[in-house]
Amino acid sequence: MSLHWEGEHEDRGRAREAAQELAALRAGTVGEPLTLGNEFAEARVSLVRTRNGVRLLIEATRSGQWVTLDPLELEALTWQGTATFSAMVGRPFTSLFPEQDDTARDDTARDGTAQDDTGESAS
């Protein structure tokens, strides 16, 4: 018996594209990755060079999720209060802005990063 679902081919295609993008990012790694972990999570952090400059590649080793952050996005983390991080931890694998589609990653094709527009205004 074989299971199939609506959108299976699109999901497979997006997964392949993401895997290729991650492999390209890893190829640009500078130095050795740093792994941080505790009983709740583990993340591997790497400095990577892209055509648009240096990014921090953060990979959740248990879930396979990953993101790249540029220096401004990293600085923006320091602007957040504890409530923002509590909200993110309290709703794993979901966006803080559910009205926007996080899966599109439209900017990825344009700038070579794995970032989407979740922090942008919809107007």
State the DSSP code for 100. Answer: S
d(C-alpha 84, C-alpha 106), whole Å: 24
Within 8 A by CB and 6+ apart from 44, the residues are: 33, 34, 35, 58, 59, 61
d(C-alpha 47, C-alpha 33), whole Å: 7
Tokens representing 64 are 């396979």
Name the pTM for this structure: 0.71
Enumerate the β-bridge partners of residue 59.
44, 66
d(C-alpha 55, C-alpha 58), whole Å: 9
Q: Residue 53: what pLDDT? A: 94
Give per-residue pLDDT as tens, 26-85: 999 999 999 999 999 999 999 999 999 999 999 999 999 999 999 999 999 999 999 999
Whether 15 has a pLDDT exceeding 50, the answer reads yes
Question: What's phi and psi for 26, nearest 5 deg?
Answer: -60, -30
Q: Are strands 29-37 and 42-50 parallel, antiparallel or unpaired?
A: antiparallel
